[in-house]
Structure 1
Amino acid sequence: MRVEGNEGRVMAQWLENNAEVRADVPLEECWEHWIDREKIPQWMPWISSVKVLEDTPDLSRWTLKYNAFDQDFTFSWVARNMQPLHHQKIHWRAVDGLANRGAVRFYKNRDGSCQIKMTISYEVPGVLAPLAQGLTPIVEGIIQKDLERFVEYARTHRLKVPATK
C-alpha cells in the first residue's frame, strides 16, 4: 500500500488477484506460448493488444479494453518485462500508464502436466479500495477463465519443444 501525505496527494493501495490452473500440456510448451507476450490477447480477451517495442525489447505496450454499464473503457501501459526465470517465472512491472505488476509461475507435475499460477496486482486510489476489494472474486474469476482459455489454446496450438528434466 502506498500512502501519501495530506498535501492534496491521493492515497493509493495495491490489490492482488490470483488464479491457478492445471495444464495437461508440457511445461516447456506452456512456457513458449507465454514468453511470446504478443500472443496473450488470444486467451485474454480483455487485453486487446500487446506489442513488444522494437527498439527496446524488454518493454511492451499493453492495451486493455473492457465494456461495463454500456461504456467502453480503455487503459494502456508500458510494462518492463523483468528477467524471466527460465521455465519457472515470467513477470512484469508497469513503468508508464496503468499501475500494475504481475507474474506467471510454472510448476512441473510428475505426470508431465504443469500447474500455472498467475498473480496480477494493480494500484487503486485509496477511496476506491473497498469497492475494488469487493470486486476481487469477479477479477479472480476473469483471470481463472483466462487461464482455462490458455490451456485450451496450448492444447490446440501444440509446439515441438524438447522436454527438460
Structure 2
Amino acid sequence: MSQVKESIEVDVPVRTAYNQWTQFETFPQFMDGVESVEKVDDILTHWVTRIGGVDREFDAEITEQIPDERVSWVTVGGESDQSGVVTFHPIDPTHTEVTLRMDFDPDGLAETVADKLGFIDRKIAGDLKRFKTFIEERGTTGA
C-alpha cells in the first residue's frame, strides 16, 4: 500500500472550503482524470476516471463525515483499491488549510512506476492547486 499526503492553503473560510469539497459532482472541474462523480446516496458516490489512458469505475463509501472538519472514504467494489481523508483546518476566519491523504494499492507495472517516480504525489498536488483556484474564483458565496 502506498500513501500520498498533500496540503494547500485556500483563501476562503473553513465552512466554504468544506461545503465546496462535499459537492462531489464538481470534482471533474478541478480533479485531473475524473470524468464524473455521482452521489448515489448519503454515503455512496460512483466515480468514472480516465488517468493515463486507463478507464476505471468504482464506488466510494464515506466512512466518516464531520462538518467543517473532515471527510473519510474507502472504495468498495470496482477496480480501485484506495482510502483517504480530507481535513479542513481554519488558519484564521478567512483562510483554511486543506489536507488530503490517500492510501492506495498501485495496480500493475505502470501505476507502480508512476507511484515510485512521484507522479501520483504531483497529480494530487495539482488537483489541490486547481481546487484552490476553483474555490477562490467562486468566493465565499459560491459554495
The question of a shared fold, defined as TM-score above 0.5 by the shorter chain, is answered with yes
1:91-133 superposed Cα distances (whole Å, 9 cap, x missing partner): 1100111111111111100362010111111113698886354
Aligned counterparts of 2:75 and 2:86: Cα–Cα separation in 1: 15
Letter in 1 for 2:23: D
8 Å CA contact retained: 1:25, 1:151: no
1:122 aligned residue: 104
Letter in 1 for 2:98: I
How many residue pairs align between the two structures?
141
Aligned counterparts of 1:130 and 1:74: Cα–Cα separation in 2: 17
Residues 75-154 of structure 1 aligned to structure 2 (within 5 Å): 75-97=56-78, 98-110=80-92, 112-124=94-106, 131=113, 133-135=115-117, 137-154=118-135
Aligned counterparts of 1:103 and 1:128: Cα–Cα separation in 2: 25
Judging changes above 3 Å, is the alpha-carbon distance between structure 1 residues 20 and 85 closer, same or farther for their aligned structure 2 residues?
A: same
Judging changes above 3 Å, is the alpha-carbon distance between structure 1 residues 132 and 80 closer, same or farther for their aligned structure 2 residues?
A: same
Aligned counterparts of 1:128 and 1:151: Cα–Cα separation in 2: 29
Q: Which of 13, 16, 20 is equivalent to 2:7?
A: 20
1:17-56 superposed Cα distances (whole Å, 9 cap, x missing partner): 1111011111111111001111111110211110011xx3
RMSD across aligned positions (CA):
2.2
Percent pairwise identity: 19
1:156 aligned residue: 137
2:42 aligned residue: 57
Aligned counterparts of 1:77 and 1:131: Cα–Cα separation in 2: 22
Q: Which of 28, 32, 38 is equivalent to 2:19?
A: 32
Gaps of 5+ in 2: none
Q: Which of 12, 30, 34 is equivalent to 1:43?
A: 30
Gaps of 5+ in 1: 1-13
Deviation at 1:58, TM superposition (A): 1.3
TM-score by length of 2: 0.87
Judging changes above 3 Å, is the alpha-carbon distance between structure 1 residues 128 and 65 closer, same or farther for their aligned structure 2 residues?
A: closer
Judging changes above 3 Å, is the alpha-carbon distance between structure 1 residues 158 and 123 closer, same or farther for their aligned structure 2 residues?
A: same
Structure exhibiting the larger radius of gyration computed from Cα positions: 1
